[in-house]
Amino acid sequence: MELRRVAIITGGTKGIGKAIAYRLAQDGRDVVLNYHGDDEAAQSALREFESLPMKAMTVKADVSTSDGASHLIETAVKQLGSLDILVNNVGPFLVRALYDTTDDEWRRTLDSNLGSVFYCSRAALRVMRERRGGSIINIGALNVEHSPIGVFEAPAYYIAKSGVIMLTRSLARSEAPWGIRVNAVNPGFIETESYDQYRAEDKAAWTRMIPLGGLGTPDDIAEAVSYLASERARYVTGTVLHVHGGLWV
Ligand SMILES: NC(=O)c1ccc[n+]([C@@H]2O[C@H](COP(=O)([O-])OP(=O)(O)OC[C@H]3O[C@@H](n4cnc5c(N)ncnc54)[C@H](O)[C@@H]3O)[C@@H](O)[C@H]2O)c1
């Protein structure tokens, strides 16, 4: 039985993030659900954790900024006394050709998908290095970092997600001496509100391409995160766990 541990999940009140938070709470972690935006929806998500014995709390913070990320980590540590697991889950889509992408869209997509991982990890490492241990799990997307043909439907998003994988590998190397493991999970197409934004004909075409058939669920991603966060993965760092039904792009 592992000791009770504290986990922060960015964007943890909705979709994949909420499923991850719920699974980590079932694993015996106290959980901090970060969000930015709708307070009512966040409180309603938090109520779903009431039946579990672990502590759950929300922290409102925009993790696409350095100040927001620091506020999140400091508040969580102050309230729950520790930080052992950080799941960098925030990562909004932008479906827009590069030619049509505005300066603001480019900046916001890079800041929220890649900047948030940097800001939150750096703030968390200040705590984890001191206690000489921890696990950081970054949520990427598909396996685009290997793609020899590039992507066209959401390039700024996938460029940022490719950066998340290099950031994962770089931190895995630099933080290993402190006993901190850093890994990533790359979801394929997962049944969520954000996936629903795509056009019906695109979704039908992609679903036909998935070797295992059909979409994944948020629980499929939560299962992978649960493993990487745990002592079962004590010798695993710098790896990317693909959870995409065999859809290599
Ligand atoms: N859904 C999919 O099919 C799919 C596929 C591949 C990868 N992913 C990745 O999985 C992760 C979760 O995806 P999802 O579909 O559940 O997303 P979602 O949009 O449903 O949830 C993300 C949450 O993050 C919050 N958020 C957004 N920006 C924030 C910010 N700056 N600060 C704090 N909170 C913020 C949102 O309010 C939302 O609650 C993302 O990184 C996404 O890129 C999703």
pLDDT in tens, 214-241: 999 999 999 999 999 999 999 999 999 9
Does a structural domain hold residue 143? Answer: yes
The better pLDDT of the pair 197, 88 is held by 88
230: domain CATH number is 3.40.50.720
Percent of the chain beyond pLDDT 90?
Answer: 88
Atom of ligand 1 nearest to the CA of 111: 31
8 A C-beta contact, residue 29 and residue 54: yes
8 A C-beta contact, residue 116 and residue 36: no
Does a structural domain hold residue 248? Answer: no
Does a structural domain hold residue 167? Answer: yes
Does a structural domain hold residue 172? Answer: yes
Strand ranges in 64-215 using DSSP code E only, listed in sequence order: 85-88, 134-139, 180-187
Does a structural domain hold residue 223? Answer: yes
The partner residues of 32 in beta bridges, in order of sequence, read 8, 57
Q: Residue 3: what pLDDT?
A: 66
Choice from 36, 110, 145, 240 to test ligand 1 binding pocket (greatest atom count within 8 A of CB): 36
Q: Is the CB of 37 under 6 A from ligand 1?
A: yes
The yes-or-no verdict on residue 152 having pLDDT over 90 is: no
Q: Is 35 among the residues known to form the active site?
A: no
Tokens linked to 26 = 């079932």
pLDDT in tens, 159-179: 999 999 999 999 999 999 999
Q: Annotated catalytic residue: which of 22, 35, 119, 157?
A: 157
pLDDT in tens, 81-91: 999 999 999 99
* Mean predicted lDDT score pLDDT of the chain: 96
Strand ranges in the chain using DSSP code E only, listed in sequence order: 5-9, 29-35, 56-60, 85-88, 134-139, 180-187, 240-243
The yes-or-no verdict on residue 195 having pLDDT over 60 is: yes
Does a structural domain hold residue 73? Answer: yes
- Residue 199: which pLDDT band, with cuts at 50, 70 and 90? confident
d(CA 49, CA 55): 8
Q: Is the CB of 89 under 6 A from ligand 1?
A: yes
Atom of ligand 1 nearest to the CA of 113: 41
- Residue 1: which pLDDT band, with cuts at 50, 70 and 90? low
> Sheet harboring 56-60: ordered strands across?
56-60, 29-35, 5-9, 85-88, 134-139, 180-187, 240-243
Q: Is the CB of 192 under 6 A from ligand 1?
A: yes
- Residue 203: which pLDDT band, with cuts at 50, 70 and 90? confident
Q: Is the CB of 186 under 6 A from ligand 1?
A: no
Q: Residue 206: what pLDDT?
A: 86
Tokens linked to 230 = 């745990």
Task: Indicate the SS3 state at residue 31.
Answer: strand
Domain that holds residue 179: 5-243
Q: Is the CB of 91 under 6 A from ligand 1?
A: yes
- What is the reported pTM? 0.98
The angle at the Cα of 19, spanning 15 to 21, to the nearest 5 degrees, equals: 115
Does a structural domain hold residue 140? Answer: yes
Collect all residues with Cβ–Cβ distance below 8 Å to 46 and sequence separation of at least 6: 13, 33, 56, 57, 58
The partner residues of 187 in beta bridges, in order of sequence, read 243
Does a structural domain hold residue 161? Answer: yes
Q: Could you give the number of structural domains in the chain?
A: 1
